[in-house]
Amino acid sequence: MPGLEGLDTRALTRKLRVAGVMRGILACSEGSVRLSDADLVDKARSGPKMEGLNLAAKVSCASAYHWEGGFLEGFGRPETHGSTATLKAMPKQFRVVAVDYGIKQNILRCLEEVGADVTVVPAHSTAADVLKHKPDGVFLSNGPGDPAAVTGAPEMIRGVLGKTPLFGICLGHQLLGLALGAKTYKLKFGHRGANHPVLDHSTGKVEITSQNHGFAVDPKTVPVEAEVSHLNLNDQTVEGLRCKNVAAFSVQYHPEASPGPHDSFYLFSRFRDMILTSKK
């Protein structure tokens, strides 16, 4: 595990807050050879920039699989299914295909907790690959890298929209925006941490959220077929989208975060209710 010594981290924070995100490097001495400051700066500058990196393809699963991780007894939260009397997962009521752009296992647990039987598919999946599983809902996961570089994802999402309810988180939110015709951009400095205030326009409530992203959806490019559903109260960036004519929504933050704030667990229930309504 790398560590830092003799560094004024507050000075580093101030520099980043003014200059924005920059590439950096952590290095150990190579044997008896200590790398010079100039060598380290060269190594940092030679590293790839985040713009244009399709990292989702590197971290996604290689093939589809059925989630068998199992709900953890006592791990779940009553907020996800609206009951204060039990923490047990709901019986499986519907099928969800989760597209893995770097998915967190706790997302799969949360989906299972609200009654989903989950199949996970790779990031390169097409709409036909997704729909062949006959899902009652499709989930777009979080993941690293530049959303505009995830080849094939917008086309896949457009092929699914309107055929089954859809829910996206983080990178999945950005990809939904791209599929709808919006554009994404790199933030001067990303949103990191577990205390970001977000306004849910549908309820008027402010949620404290966990966030970890460096890109955002440009609100000026959101088409009339969609609307901004959640707003970051720190910098007014887009934190959620809702489609007006089809059953689809997304959020930029992490409602599944654990440890983390519990304010946003209702989103999994919202997805469940959307699916069950569509099945009637």
SS3 call for 24: coil
DSSP string, 65-92: EE--S---TTTS-GGGTT-SS--SPPPP
Q: Which CATH superfamily is domain 56-278 in?
A: Class I glutamine amidotransferase (GATase) domain (3.40.50.880)
Cβ–Cβ < 8 Å for 77, 112: no
Checking if the pLDDT of 189 tops 70, the result is: yes
Catalytic status, residue 73: no
Instruction: Name the active-site residue from 112, 113, 170, 196.
Output: 170
pLDDT at 88: 61
Q: Of 11-15, 86-90, 208-212, 245-249, where does mean pLDDT reach its minimum?
A: 86-90
Could you tell me the residue ranges of all domains in the chain?
Answer: 9-46, 56-278
Closest CA to 200 of 245, 255, 145: 255
Q: How far apart are the first and last CA of the chain?
A: 52
Segment 88-117, tens digit of pLDDT: 667 889 999 999 999 999 999 899 988 999
pLDDT at 220: 97
pLDDT at 276: 94
pLDDT at 26: 82
Positive or negative torsion for Cα 118, 124, 127, 132: negative
Catalytic status, residue 254: yes
Across 167-195, average pLDDT:
96
Q: State the Cα–Cα distance between residues 139 and 265, nearest whole angstrom.
A: 15
Catalytic status, residue 110: no
- Residue 46 CB neighbour total at 10 angstroms: 9
Checking if the pLDDT of 77 tops 70, the result is: no
